[in-house]
Amino acid sequence: MCALALLPGLGACRGPLSALDPAGPSAGAIAQVWWWMFGVAALVWLGVCVAGALAMRRRAALTPAQHRRTARRWLIGGGLLLPGTAITALLVFGSPAGLHQLPWPGARDAGGAPLRVEAIGHQWWWEVHYPDSGLRLRNEMRIPAGRAIDVHTMSRDVIHSFWVPRLGGKLDAVPGRTLVVRLQADRPGAYRGVCAEFCGTGHAHMGLVVQAMPAGDFEAWMQQAQKAQQSQQAPQQAQETGPSGPPHAGAAPAAPTAPAAASATGGAR
Ligand SMILES: [Cu+2]
């Protein structure tokens, strides 16, 4: 009854940072596993309640033979069958969900070849780099809706964790390593992301927004952003006399952050 009373609270599972409100196949696979685990855990909890009630019934004392038989049943049922079934079920349902988060070729590339984007963690902001175009954004990632995105995570200082709950799994950004997670947004919209690994005093404010756009709009934005970046870089290069260091915390790293062509993609939920 207590569990049933909590069911209305499940309405709170929706929201901009809820992994239970998926907006793409990668996040959907994770949510599916979560609901299976929730359902099975609820059944186990009910079973324990029933077993507890039965155990408290007044019963005649067991004979030694009955005691041995009961102990054997618990050993086989609770020690072998139950964990064996649970682990097998977890592998059957969990492994496909894990595969959804990996950059496997072919499986879900109906929207075209996966787009490679780099998410580079800094204290305390995200640098988003498009290797194909050289474009860089700050705390913002633009992607085409309906197309797989392979996010390569890295870090320039400490360990961060890249996570856009409604689009896919969480992945650490580790100094000296590059890890890859596949995201996808089924529909255009704005999806919030966070750093999910404590990385210092500014950690709580280390968020980003993923703007999923219609494919045509994304291409148009990319071309416009590249032109804007080139026009910005030209006078900068003329003024600079030394090598350019890393961008300071208050500036976007040589990148337009919000070209006008990419503004109408819907609001964050
Ligand atoms: Cu952090």
Mean pLDDT of 104-118: 73
Residue 127 Cα to ligand 1 midpoint, Å, equals: 13
Ligand 1 centroid from CA 107, angstroms: 32
Kindly give the pairing relationship between strand 115-122 and strand 149-155. Answer: parallel
**Contact between residue 156 and residue 246 where contact means Cβ atoms under 8 Å apart:** yes
What would the mean pLDDT of 60-88 be, rounded to a whole number? 87
Dist. CA 174 → ligand 1 center (Å) = 12
Please report, for residues 70, 105, 126, 163, the alpha-carbon distance to residue 61 in angstroms, rounded to integers and kept in the order given: 12, 63, 67, 56
Helices (H), 101-239: 215-239
For residue 208, how far is its CA from the centre of ligand 1 (angstroms)? 12
CA of 94 to the centre of ligand 1 (A): 27
Q: Among residues of the chain, what percentage have pLDDT more than 70?
A: 80
What mean pLDDT comes out for the span 17-21?
A: 86
Q: 195 CA to middle of ligand 1, Å?
A: 4
Q: Among 110-124, 183-197, 251-265, which range has the highest average pLDDT?
A: 183-197
CA distance 83 to 258: 52
Task: Give residue-wise pLDDT tens across range 141-158.
Answer: 999 999 999 999 999 999
What is the pLDDT, as a whole number, of residue 82?
Answer: 87
Beta strands 179-183 and 149-155, pairing class: antiparallel
* Helices 82-100 and 25-55, packing angle to 10 deg: 170
What's the CA-to-centroid distance between 237 and ligand 1, angstroms?
Answer: 32
Q: Give the residues across from 128 on adjacent strands.
A: 119, 137
**How far apart are the C-alpha atoms of 44 and 4, rounded to whole Å?**
15
Indicate whether 54 pLDDT > 90: no
Q: Which fold has domain 115-234+254-262?
A: Immunoglobulin-like (2.60.40)
Ligand 1 mean position, distance from CA 128 (Å) = 16
What average pLDDT does this structure show over 218-246? Answer: 73
184 alpha carbon to ligand 1 midpoint, in Å? 23
